[in-house]
Copies of this chain bind each other. A is one copy, B any other.
């Protein structure tokens, strides 16, 4: 096999982007051999590709080796289970599931380890985040003490929410910014720092938009070692911010506006504090030059890595089983806001699912008719880093 025959289910913004990239030859080892969408007009955009009436039909056809799932979030779980059980390799868009219990079900279906099961956490390919991870893992930063990540560059207009009937409803999406935009950052967060022990979050529901789910979040996190963190995200702010600050024993890292800086303490801060003979002294610091090439291959690199993992057995950039962590973080933040409690991890998945079902049952959201959509809305602008 020299190429992986890929089917895509879901030709919305993301699915159509992946399809177009593959058809343009940008992922050399993937061949698009099937598409499915609930809206039968959408596959007509890709006339050279066989359209199927359903995922079941596409699986049964034998036309695909692998399935890329780019549907609304709730369908990720049942479709992923179906595909894995049919012996297909699976690439699932983020989030891998809407809630932890679903993520557990999806991962439980991954029994045949000869299959490749990946998730679309494309920001893991960014060399800036890879460099930060390297500094942490090789000990150069020392113990992490505090993290502050402001990610408010996910601005979306009212029209964005009005344009998709499933969007930003409990039933359709199971959440707002935490489930749709922020999974990238939540995944990077746990990939860089591991999972916190406790989460206290303040979510505003429909603060900036006429939606029932959260579009503005401030979360406080505590780790087992006492480290603290704050994550702030919003789809209502413009101009937004994406700034990650890490305070660690051996120095401080800040990543913002394509600038990654590392200010190194010549003596780790706590050791300096214990041994200094004066009260107002500070450790000497030095700016450490960091060579970072670029932001990596993003979606294309994750797709190519998926094909390489299938064809050559290379390690995955973002295994889908790791996708449960960002789901759990998002769930914990919503649970904390709903219950006004500090949530201790691991999250009670059954309780969360039950409360989410209550939100779905109690949903009163009626979508407004969308404002007439201007042609050529530039979705590529949405790949916030």
Q: Which A positions have Cβ atoms within 8 angstroms of B?
A: 145-146, 148, 150, 152, 155-161, 163, 200, 202, 204, 207-209, 216, 218, 220, 222, 226, 228, 230, 232, 234, 236-239, 241, 243, 245, 247, 251-252, 263, 265, 269-270, 272-274, 276-283, 285, 340, 342, 371-374, 376-379, 381-382
Closest Cβ–Cβ distance, residue A262 to chain B (whole Å): 11
Q: In this complex, what residue of B is CB-closest to A247?
A: B237
Taking CB atoms, residues of chain B closer than 8 Å to A342 are: 340
- Which listed residue, B145, B237, B263, touches A146 by the CB 8 Å rule? B237
Q: Given A208-B273, A281-B157, A371-B277, are A145 and B237 neighbors across the interface (CB < 8 Å)? A: yes
Interface pair A159/B252, CB less than 8 Å apart: no
Copies of this chain, whole number: 2
Interface pair B222/A207, CB less than 8 Å apart: no
Please classify the interface of chain A as helix (H, G, I), strand (E, B), loop, or mixed, using the class held by over half of its residues: mixed
Closest Cβ–Cβ distance, residue A220 to chain B (whole Å): 6
Q: In this complex, what residue of B is CB-closest to A146?
A: B237
- Which listed residue, B152, B202, B226, touches A207 by the CB 8 Å rule? B226
Taking CB atoms, residues of chain B closer than 8 Å to A226 are: 204, 207
Closest Cβ–Cβ distance, residue A46 to chain B (whole Å): 22
Taking CB atoms, residues of chain B closer than 8 Å to A283 are: 238-239
Residue of A207, A218, A237, A238 most packed against chain B (CB within 10 A): A238
Complex Cα spacing A377 to B282, Å: 11
